[in-house]
Amino acid sequence: MPDESAVRGMTSPESVRVPGDKSITHRLLLMAALAPGASEVAGALTSLDARSTAAVLRRLGVSVSPLRAGSLVRVVGRPQFRPFDGSLHCGNSGTTARLLLGILASQSITATVTGDRSLRQRPMARITDPLSQMGARIRPPGGDRLPITIAGGSLRALRHIMPVSSAQVKGCLLFAGLAGGVPVALREPNGLSRDHTERLLRAFGYRVATEDGWIAFEPTGRLEPFRAEVPGDASSAAFLVGYALLASGGPLRISSVGLNPTRTHYLEVLRRMGAAITVEADEAMHGEPVGDIIASPGMLRGVVVAREEIPSLIDEIPMLAVLASQAEGTTVFHDVGELRVKESDRLGLLAHNLGILGADAQVVGDDLVVQGSDRPLRGLVRTEGDHRLAMAFSVLGAARGGQVEVDDLACSAVSFPGFPQLLARLARSSR
């Protein structure tokens, strides 16, 4: 997918595209690495996180061509990875680290997985405990922080109630079942998280059933070399939707976006807030629905976001919270404590930064409460290198003309290469 060159012809509504879906890019690269032969991935995200996945696969002996915007990525897989010296550095990518550990659990090698300072603070016991139950040997035992050393081999079937609803945890354990050829049954405690792994596995003939709250994987399929296309990233599209709702210009069309319902629930929340949003579905790619999102400026009102909605909104809450600060009334996000262990303490930083800008936002237990206002916001936002915070607050400044300064907008390259340039171009075109 294009990045900073993504703006299409300026028609009405104005049309843009977002880079390839981050979650799907990670998963397709990892599945291609396990397939015996050459696979091709079109539209892959070229961000820093995706490059981390490609880099660790190369260290394991998998041939992965360079990730460049607009180019096919060619992956020559090897179901048995090559032993190597040193460690596998996942950068800032929690998805890379967690999904990779699931695959390594079945490999007859010993590997140490690490990451940058932020990633080394993120909890890992939620995957190392069940991987140990499957037969992987992990050091330190019960390790909850990177670096973690894992010695893989033959795995046992797993039946496991997850401590949190998490696509990364679920994906890790399903990938362990895929690579190890063993059944896996999982239960998410508070709502289903995004289901990209399940959809991709089904596309390759694996049985993945959901019944009575359990997700049951059976190793019935066969992973063959493939050619796939990555749709536009729904979470990246959320920032452009947010810009369109706050801007003074006309409607904005974000085209060829993934419309997986476990990724687009934020559109339903925004409709409850009074947003004018329409969706035009197109086609499916490897089980993933794709289409266009059209958003228009309008007045927003506060809403209550329930606990069971959060797993399908977790990456979009920064954008929703920023929009809530411009809505009429109060918005409450229930049970968002998981935001504390993302790339930053997103929960604390959201409330802190909104307060610095002059908005009224408070953390009450694990809830985030945002009081809307129409007063101008101004000040310096501290992101601690968190790409989603940086993009959400930069949208607020660009769309409403407030004096909002973001300390590190360059970190948006983690998931959305070219975002600052695209946002600036949209702001200029709406003047």
Catalytic residues: 315
Alpha-carbon span 318 to 346, nearest angstrom: 8
Q: How many CA atoms lie within 13 A of 414 on its CB side?
A: 23
Specify whether the CB–CB gap between 245 and 275 falls below 8 A.
Answer: yes
Alpha-carbon span 307 to 168, nearest angstrom: 19
Alpha-carbon span 375 to 302, nearest angstrom: 16
Cβ-Cβ contacts under 8 Å for 43 (sequence gap 6 or more) = 1, 20, 229, 230, 231
Q: How many CA atoms lie within 13 A of 416 on its CB side?
A: 27
Q: Tokens representing 19? A: 């880079």
Q: Which residue has the tokens 């994987």?
A: 217
Alpha-carbon span 17 to 5, nearest angstrom: 9
Alpha-carbon span 429 to 423, nearest angstrom: 10
Specify whether the CB–CB gap between 306 and 219 falls below 8 A.
Answer: no
Q: Tokens representing 364? A: 């009450």
Specify whether the CB–CB gap between 309 and 320 falls below 8 A.
Answer: no
Closest listed residue to residue 217, CA positions, set 178, 160, 172: 178
Helices assigned H by DSSP within 230-311: 234-246, 265-272
Alpha-carbon span 54 to 356, nearest angstrom: 38
